[in-house]
Structures are given as structure tokens and as C-alpha cells.
A and B are shown apart, each in its own frame.
Chain A
């Protein structure tokens, strides 16, 4: 078995040399691709011009668009410029810019890519379509919200949020309802003023009842005043999960007019709602809530007592007085510990640690 293996060793050494050459070749090729990519990005910006339509180099634009329609590397370059906000132009050049892309077959290429087998190609096409601000983006992208690949669904979610339109918001809301995307990922995209109206409407519709907690969460993230009233209603009359999210959202809105609703929620049957209401009051810094929070320090749930202590800690003098009493005299040891923990975070707390 072991005889005549010398040629094999020679073959292995040859293979090795080949592999080493391949490593170096890859490095050189990568360097060249990077330089090409840099040149292409500069060319896009130069061809788009800097002020008027007259500055635009349409032929060059069409040539770049043809490149981008064909190759993933060129699409990546364009996408990086779009993400950085350097394209598309936001003035009178926008329309001719988009027309140049259409004439070069770029939109046809994207349409084809969205229906293609490659997950990366589908996701990239969705992002390009949305970031370029091309018409009909919502219609093109919405089928991707049910894509089997999670990366493509995430890219489609991101792309729809870029559209900032009613249609995009409704597509996102429907995929939230139909559980195509993780709810938190949709909620964090629906944070602009453009999303408030569809969110409020969805909150009223029975078909969206199952996802009302996430609608409340998203409304809180918009920080829009129009959200306050429906959230207060949800806090008063929703189911447990809805009340929890409504309390959190009201905390994010941080409007003093919602303080009384939150103070009422401190007596909610659910400990999680009580804890979230206490946390929301931390954001409001509403002194009227001190008596209710002090009462909450004797809550059955250690978590609620902890949140109440934190809320009191954020309320300044009156809150801290209550905490001092709690740290020394409260019958519950955990409440004493939590109060002491919060008090220790005060600037007047024990001196800087001395290490031997």
C-alpha cells in the first residue's frame, strides 16, 4: 500500500502551490474589485450632477444603470450610496434620474430580481426599489413579506419603512397581523408620523384585535400626541397584554395629561400592568403619583415593588423621603432592599469605594 506514493506527494505539493497562487489571486482580484467599486460610486455622484438638470450626464447615468441592472456588485454600490443619502437627488433632477434608470432597463432588472431564486438578489432589489423612491414600490415589495427566507422578510420590512406611505404602513400592519415578521421588528419600523394614521385606524379595526398590544407599542414609539387618547382608552379597557403595552407607550409619550390614567393603572389586577404603569410614571416625573407609588411599595409582587421604588427615586425630594422610610421601616425585606438600592444610587450615597 505504501509503495509508489512519491508521485502522490508531488501532486500534493503541486496542489499546494496552486492553492497559494489562488489565495494571492483572490487578494488581487478583491483589491481590483474594491477600486472598481470606488470608481463606480464616484461616477454615480458625478453623473447625477450637483444642482440642475443641465448638470446631469444622462448617457453616463444610463450606462451605470445598465451595469447595476446586471451585476450584484454594481447594485451593492448603488445601495450604499442610497443608504448614505447621497442618491437619489431630492430636487428637480429626481424625475430625469428615475427616467434614466427606467430607460436603461434597471427597473425591469429589479422586477426580475424580486422574482428570482436568490434570496440576496430579492432582498437587494426590494431595498433598491424603495430607496430609489420608484413608483409602485409597495406593490412590488409586499409579496416579499411572506418570503420563506427571514433575511428577505427583514429587508422587505426595512424597504417598506423607507417608502413612508400609507400603503407601506398597511402592508407592514397586515404582515404584523398575519405573523409574517417578528412583531417587534415591524413595530420599530412604524415610528414616523406617516405611520400614525394607519396605526390609529388599525387599533379601531376588529381584524387587528390580536395585535393591538404591538400597535400600542408602535404608537408609543411615534411619540405623536394623537396617540395619547386611544392609548389611555386601551389602558383602561384593554386585555392584560394591551394594558401592559399601553402603559409602556404612555411612558414613552411622557405627557403629564396621562398621569391620572397611569395612577389608576397602579391598582390594576395584573402585577405586570402595575409595574409598567410605575415605570411609565418614572418617565413622567409626576409628583402627584407619590402617594400611589408609596402604597405600591407594599405590593404582593417583588417586581412591582422594585418598579415603584425606581419611580419614587426619580421623583426627587418627596419620593426619596418615602424611600428612606421604606428602607428602614417597611415590613417586607425585599422592599427594604430595593429602596436601599435605589437610595444608594443617589449622589449623597456612601462614599467612593476604598479598596485596600
Chain B
């Protein structure tokens, strides 16, 4: 019996090593693609005339949709930031998704809202929209008050009432760079086959925010937030840039993504039964466009920046990541028919198989690998130097890829100007693989288990301190 277990564990260890090599080879390929894409982007920066787009009367008008549920801490700052965007034609549509707090009240006070009778311009199923309001101070601001139905439902309501042919979905806890809109819209103008484009989401915790805009980028002292900053850099600058390069981008972040409205409406809008509505929509768009035939593009560009507030506690982070993992699993299950089919191009042949092998199964194999190595070491089947070497290689490769992301950041943007802030990120990239990565793998395994058992999902309450803590007006 022990002999069978011995053989099984050692074979599994070998399998884990092969898996680790394959995963890292993929990561390396993504870094190479990402580096190439970013380098090309940097080289061409001076060719891009965003000023004309920001002034032209022929620029595509954009509806900015902000679903808001209990966002009293951040909503005013977000709306203020969006309304200052440098762009000639846009509207900001805030969808109050039945908030129990003062989200609507604060908006009404700050923007002098009056009820109007906006007529829906698309047919999509949503919860009842109770009323629509517009601002007397800025006619570009529209607020929809609806019964609670979740984020997808709120976005669909926004889509129904939006006026313009292109819409940008942003989270309520985000701030946009002033010139983010021209940068995103340019992709639609220069490449008319574009269906959706994602921009980079960066973490604003610790940065200085003035008048709704990040004026000085800094990192906070909290380790947990710095770990997330490194994670975001890796995910966006390496992951999404790389996937975009080969035309297999599966996620346009719900916090910052711009879409052709007509295409999304034809696809049926956001799916109200999933929590990974952003990935689900993008994969559905890929499927529709591929089935229909003809050229199309779903891409990512790393320059337009959206700033968000990251969770500061492990509990909030766990809830967020649980939701992300379950959303991803749900999407992969729904579109399993696309996997490995050449008609779906790089999405079916590379993107989806990668996500199944390394994002859905990855954490399970990773955790099983740690257990297996520990067992082997405990039973004396593995010498200490081999166990340490295995651990060392796994950790070193993880750190190397995080450094790779920092290298891309330094090559292209260098947003973190202070050496102190940069030092914190380097430190976080090192520490990330010593505890945090293993904890995150466990969270994802737990999410997989909950998904299999079909446990109901929760959005959870993310406590927001606001971009300027203390900026929320006191309850009167």
C-alpha cells in the first residue's frame, strides 16, 4: 500500500513539475508578447494625436455607465472626475441599483437633479427603472434610479437609456485620467472593426487625489495593497497586453471597458445570471463575431488609466477574488464548446485552453502540489535539498515574472516616480510569493469548491474609505 502511495506521490510530483514548467513557459511567452506590444505602443506614442480627438466634432460620442450600489463614499468623486474628462461629446449615466445608503441623495444634492422622462432606446430585460433624473448643473449627467437587480442588470438598464453608439462601463469606485476617453475612442476610429477595448486599471490607494483626479501616484504603506498593485501590473501590463497581441483577450475589465453599444445589444446585453459579467460578455462577443465571420477586434491598450480603490482587508479581498474565480469558472463552463475549435481562432485554440489549464485548474494543482511535496518530504521520499530546490524554483519564477511586470512598467510608463514607492513595489514582488500567493491559491480552490457545490454567491460589502478619506458629507 505504502509502495503504491509512494509511486503515486512521486509521479504526481513529476507531473506538478511539468505543469509548473508549462505554466512558466506560457508566462514567459506572455511577457515577450506584452513587452513587444508595449514597446511598439511606446514607439508610436508621438504619432497619436489625442488633442484632435478631444476636440473634433466628428469624434464618436460616448455614454459612460456607472452602476452604483451603496457607493455613498465614492460616487461624488467619481462623477466629478468623469465630468471633467477631456472629450467633446459624452454623457455620464449613473445607475443607482436600489442602494440602501445615500448614494442617490448625495447625487441629488450635489448635482441639483430634477426628474426627467428619458425614453429607453433599446429593448433589454431589466428590473424596473423607477425614475430618471438629469442634472440642472451639467446636462451631461443622467441618473437612473432602479430596483436592485445586480451589476449586470444595472448595466443593462444603463444600456437601454444610453444615447450614444459607444459606451464605457466603469465602477463607481474609479477615477479616470483626464485624457482616457480620447485614447480609448481612438481605437474605434483608427480601426473601425474594433468591438471592445479595455484600458489599464491601477490602484489609487496612497496616491494624492485632487478635484477628482490622481495628481501624484504613490504607493501606500499597507503591504496587502502593494501586493495587489504588483498583481494588477502583472495582470494588465503582461497578461492582457500579451493576450491582446495575439487576438485572444478574454477579459475586458468591468471596471474600465469600452464597447460598441449596438454589438452588445445584439448580443443580448450583460448576462444577469453570472458574477463574471465582464468576461462572459467578452467571450460571448468573440463567439458572435467569429460565428458571423468578418474582421473584428477586441483589444487592450495600456495607456488610458482608470484608478480604483483596492480592498484593504483580507476579508474584503477574499470576497472579491472568490467572485472573480467563480465568474471565470462559470464563463469557461458556458463556452466550453469553443475550446479547441479552430473556427474560434486564437480564442478557441489558445485563450480558452490556457484559462482552463492555468486559471481554473491552476490553483487546484498548485495546492495539491504543495501538499504532495510536503507529504513526500514528511515520509522521507524526498531529500530536504530537493524539496527546498523545488520550493525555491517555484518562488523564484513567480518573483521573476513580477519583476518582469515591473520592468515593463519602467520601460513604458514609470508612474511611480518616487524611489520609496518603487522600492515598496520591488519588496512586494519579492514577498508576494512567500505566503500571499499560497493564500490566494487556497482562496481560489475554495471558490472552485463553492462553484461546484453551487453555493449562492455574495457580492459582499466592500468598505470604501473614499479617495479623499473624510470627504463623504455627514448624514444630516
Contacts and interface: CB of A to CB of B under 8 A. Distances in A.
A340 interface: yes
Contacts of A338: 119
A185 B189 contact: yes
A275 to B, nearest CB: 14
B75 to A, nearest CB: 13
B390 A5 contact: yes
Contact of A9 (B58, B113, B392): B392
Interface string B102-129: 0011001000111111110000000000
Contacts of A30: 410-411, 414
A124 B47 contact: yes
Interface stretch (A54-62, A107-115, A150-158): A150-158
Contact of A353 (B114, B190, B397): B114
B435 to A, nearest CB: 17
Interface string A117-152: 011100110010000000000000000000000111
B389 A6 contact: yes
A334 interface: yes
Nearest to B414: A30
Interface residues of A, number: 59
A300 to B, nearest CB: 17
B403 A355 contact: no
Contacts of A306: 119
A15 B411 CA distance: 20
Contacts of A221: 57-58
B49 interface: yes
A19 B426 CA distance: 11
Given A2-B386, A20-B426, A154 B392 contact: no
A124 B388 CA distance: 52
Contacts of A76: 46
Contact of B410 (A19, A26, A341): A26
Contacts of A318: none
B389 A127 contact: no
Contact of A344 (B49, B112, B116): B116
A152 B112 CA distance: 46
B17 A158 contact: no
Given A12-B392, A188-B58, A353-B133, A27 B410 contact: yes
B385 interface: yes
A152 B46 CA distance: 11
Contacts of B13: 2
A2 B189 CA distance: 55
9 contacts: A26-B410, A123-B47, A127-B47, A184-B189, A185-B189, A338-B119, A344-B116, A352-B112, A353-B108
Interface of B: 10, 13-14, 17, 40, 43-44, 46-49, 52, 56-59, 104-105, 108, 112-119, 131, 133-134, 136, 139, 189-192, 382-383, 385-386, 388-390, 392-393, 396-397, 399-400, 403-404, 406-407, 410-411, 414, 422, 426
